[in-house]
Structure 1
Amino acid sequence: MIRKVLSSLFVFLLLFKGHAQNKSFVIHTVAFYNFENCFDTINDPETNDEEWTPTGDQHWNTKKYQQKLENLARVLSEIGTSANPNSPTFIGGAEIENQGVLEDLIRQPKMIDKDYGIIHFDSPDKRGIDVALLYQKKQFQPTSYANIPLYVYKGEQPIKETSKADSQEDLETEDLIQLNTKNYRVYTRDQLLVTGFLNGEEIHIIVNHWPSRSGGEKKTSPFREAAGTLNRKIIDSLQHINPNAKIITMGDLNDSPFNNSVKIALGAKGKIQDVGEFGIYNPFEEMANKGLGTIAFRDSWDIFDQVMVSGSLLQKDYNTFQYWKAGIYNKPFLIQKSGKYKGYPLRHSLTEIGFSDHFPVYIYLIKEKK
């Protein structure tokens, strides 16, 4: 009797496996990459970009600029292709000087056939670096977008304006902090909210680049906690309108998945079973626990770049788009091969045009084909 039951169970499992294998899915890759100092060569009198000009410290000329764009295009076109042959449907980016560099980027040979659209706003950051979203027009139709400012202030006394990094840690999270001497506002990047339809389903995407650790992690933590609080408010407002809103928030947070800005202010959970109603899941917490990273400092890795999803993308009802899995794109060509920073992300130097001091991150969204 037992043998007959086991035999029947075995046949059932074979049939179930065969049925599952016959299913096919639509897959979309959602990526984020800190482009690290993606500047053109033109001096903008409204920002502190003099370093990235032909006469500046970086001797930034047309040849170097074009190589930077070519390098970025190679990375962006390949993210997530191990499971999805198409390049990312969505690319969130940070450290972008202006709309013009994005237009130059999407015209690169490795990008142009994907027909990317651009959503970008100039932010009040005094270095002139912004966030943006690239999207494949044939897959996603935006219906609304807004840049939401982050208002943070430096106590009662202004700190000294910083235009150079004071340590290697500051270099890894470089940011110009400039204060309005009347109200001591710290000028930083806005948070970009984009809403639209992905193959007919409404999706909300928030792109972030939270205030840096320049000046010290502990001292600047309140700025990033404020950024997490603002992110949570944006998500709350979307879920108030539609409790089942599908939301993705991503960016360079300048904090790990365990810092207060992410765990408390935003309220992200590292385990799917802990994500309650209106909750946020952060798949990069588990990766951080394993010692993986997107940025390195003194041979210690951390994950500042993260993509998180609302609980509505965790339902496993593949009749609609759902979260599948996440990853860090850290292929060998993106890694420094020698020298003091061997094993680190291959970034720009005066003698080599690299990629970025960050590795890109990504998630997949999937839906069963009908």
Structure 2
Amino acid sequence: MDVSLQHPNSDTHTIAFYNTENLFDHLNDPLIMDTDFLEKANKKWNKDRYETKVYKTGKAISKIGFDDLQKPPSLIGLAEVENDKVLTDLVQSTHLKDHNYGFVHYNSPDERGIDVALLYDKNSFRLETSETITLHVESKLGVRDYTRDILKVSGYLRDEKIHVLVNHWPSRHQESDATGHKRMYAAQRVIGLMNDIRDADVDAKIIVMGDFNDNPKNESIQFLKNEQRLYNPMETLLSYTRGSANHNYKWILFDQILMTDNLLAPKNGGLQFLKADIFDDSFLTQFSGKYKGQPFRTYVGKKYKGGYSDHFPVYIQLKEQQPLNGSDLHSET
């Protein structure tokens, strides 16, 4: 018997996204710029620090949505993971090893070697297909930016097919007007992918998640939302006192999960949106000092702090609604 069917909340699922802040192993990969995460580097990254990072990342993931459902997420999109090794170590770590997670990951052309990935609970999600989509973005001078791919994963969350697009859009290394065109291109690429999915299934249920390096009201996110008629529950979560990351004492919400509107009012049963939130429990925060309440980071610059990440996870929850039949309709009248 499927273990998930025995769980009292087997019909409800947490779907999360987490920028892990450089989940690198401590081994040298000559194909990428991972020199900051070697023992001889200024950051003094080593086996012990790596193992602590994996342990804490697994702990954070296991707690997302747990207070509501008494189980960890069914799907977790990740950003800033280096390779298959760190993902293998992560799913086998203390807090995740008993939950039967698999993962989907492809190496991207990002120069630093930070990729996106998707973890999935094999008891809840049946993987069907996956692919990686390269973003060919350039600076205004025509120089290519080797950035992260988009990860497209399709499968069945219990009995219903869904498509998940995991993103980590080009960063704001400079002012937003210098790099905003790159994120607009990324938004257009996502729109194209969604159109392809809908050409095959007009009623496809699609979830778009990621670190978009833009807030919900920024142009790229609004363009994506409006072009594809997406619902963005993260729009109401950002405030002066709350976000998924903090820059210069200002909260931002670059980490978001958007969805097609058929997850709000599904036809004849199926997965339906329940809630969205930022997972900012106290153990993920700075306990004291001038940064109190902000994410408890692994590093501040080159100074090791031993925390979790410079981002909080975000998540949504979906519930499987049973289709109405004649007797159901009669009982409600």
Matched, 1:140 2:125: yes
In 2, Cα distance between equivalents of 1:156 and 1:301: 31
The residue aligned with 2:225 is 267
Deviations 1:219-255 (A, max 9, x none): 1111111111111111111112111100001010010
Contact kept? 1:253, 1:305, Cα under 8 Å: yes
CA distance, structure 2, for counterparts of residue 268 and residue 114 of structure 1: 37
RMSD: 1.8
Q: Is the counterpart of residue 353 in structure 1 residue 292 in structure 2?
A: no
Q: How many Å separate the matches in 2 of 1:28 and 1:338?
A: 34
Return the match for 2:168 from 189, 192, 209.
209
CA drift at 1:316 = 4.8
Question: CA offsets per residue over residues 195-231 of structure 1, 9 Å max, x none?
Answer: 0111121110000000000022111111111111111
TM-score normalised by structure 1 residue count: 0.81
Which one-letter code corresponds to 1:141 in the other structure? R
Q: 1:365 aligns with which of 305, 309, 318?
A: 318
Partner-residue secondary structure (3-state), 1:65: helix
Contact 1:318 1:367 in 2 (8 A): no
Residues 291 and 260 (structure 1), Cα distance of their counterparts in 2 relative to 1, 3 Å cut: farther
Q: How many angstroms does 1:268 deviate by?
A: 4.6
Q: Is the 8 A contact 2:25 2:82 kept in 1?
A: yes
1:306 alignment partner AA: Q
What do the CA deviations read for 1:21-71 (whole angstroms, capped 9, x no partner)? xxx871011000001010000111111110101111111111100100111
CA separation of 1:267 and 1:368: change in aligned 2, threshold 3 A: closer
Q: 1:149 to 1:351 in 2, by over 3 A?
A: closer
CA distance in 2, matches of 1:207, 1:263: 18
Partner of 1:60: 45
Cα 1:330–1:318, aligned 2, differ >3 Å: closer, same or farther?
Answer: farther
Percent identity between matched residues is 40
Is 1:213–1:254's contact at 8 Å kept on the other side of the alignment?
Answer: yes
CA distance in 2, matches of 1:206, 1:280: 13
Tell whether the 8 Å contact from 1:30 to 1:88 is kept in structure 2 after alignment: yes
* Aligned-partner residue type, residue 335 of structure 1: T
Distance across 2 between alignment mates of 1:50 and 1:30: 33
**Distance in 2 between the 1:247 and 1:84 partners?**
23
Preserved CA contact (<8 Å) 2:139 2:179: no
User: Is the 1:318–1:366 Cα contact (8 Å) retained in structure 2?
Assistant: no
Q: Distance in 2 between matches of 1:289 and 1:300?
A: 9
In structure 2, the CA distance between the partners of 1:290 and 1:341, relative to structure 1 (3 Å rule), is closer
Q: Shift of residue 101 of structure 1?
A: 0.2
TM-score computed with the length of structure 2 as normaliser: 0.90
Shift of 1:338: 2.8
Unaligned runs of 5+ residues in structure 1 are: 1-23, 158-183, 270-277
Kindly name which structure, 1 or 2, has the bigger radius of gyration based on alpha carbons. Answer: 1
1:83 is paired with a residue whose SS is helix
Deviation readout 1:160-191 (Å, 9 max, x if unpaired): xxxxxxxxxxxxxxxxxxxxxxxx21110000
Q: Quick check: 1:295 aligned with 2:241?
A: no
Residue in 2 that maps onto 1:179: none
CA–CA distance in 2 between the matches of 1:208 and 1:28?
A: 21
Q: SS in structure 2 opposite 1:239?
A: helix
Q: 1:128 aligns with which of 113, 119, 144?
A: 113
Q: Can you list the C-alpha shifts for 1:241-298, whole angstroms capped at 9, x where unaligned?
A: 111100001010010001111001x1359xxxxxxxx511000011125753101112
* Residues 69 and 335 (structure 1), Cα distance of their counterparts in 2 relative to 1, 3 Å cut: same
> Judging changes above 3 Å, is the alpha-carbon distance between structure 1 residues 268 and 57 closer, same or farther for their aligned structure 2 residues?
farther
3-state SS, counterpart of residue 288 of structure 1: coil
Give the structure 2 partner of residue 242 of structure 1.
Answer: 201
* Structure 2 counterpart SS, 1:113: coil
Question: Which residue matches 2:13?
Answer: 28
Task: Give the conservation status (yes or no) of the 8 Å contact 1:93–1:131.
Answer: yes
Match of 1:178 in 2: none
Report the AA paired with residue 20 of structure 2: F
Q: Name the SS of the counterpart of 1:192 in structure 2.
A: strand
Code of the residue aligned with 2:150 in structure 1: it is Q
Q: Does the 8 Å contact 2:16/2:77 carry over to 1?
A: yes
Q: Aligned pair in 2 of structure 1 residues 88, 315: CA closer, same or farther (>3 Å)? A: same
What is the 5 A alignment of 1:1-370? 26-156=11-141, 184-264=143-223, 266-268=224-226, 279-288=229-238, 292-317=242-267, 319-349=269-299, 350-368=303-321
Question: Aligned partner of 1:87: which letter?
Answer: P
What letter is aligned with 1:140? F
In 2, the alpha carbon distance for the partners of 1:343 and 1:226 equals 34
SS state at 1:109 partner: coil
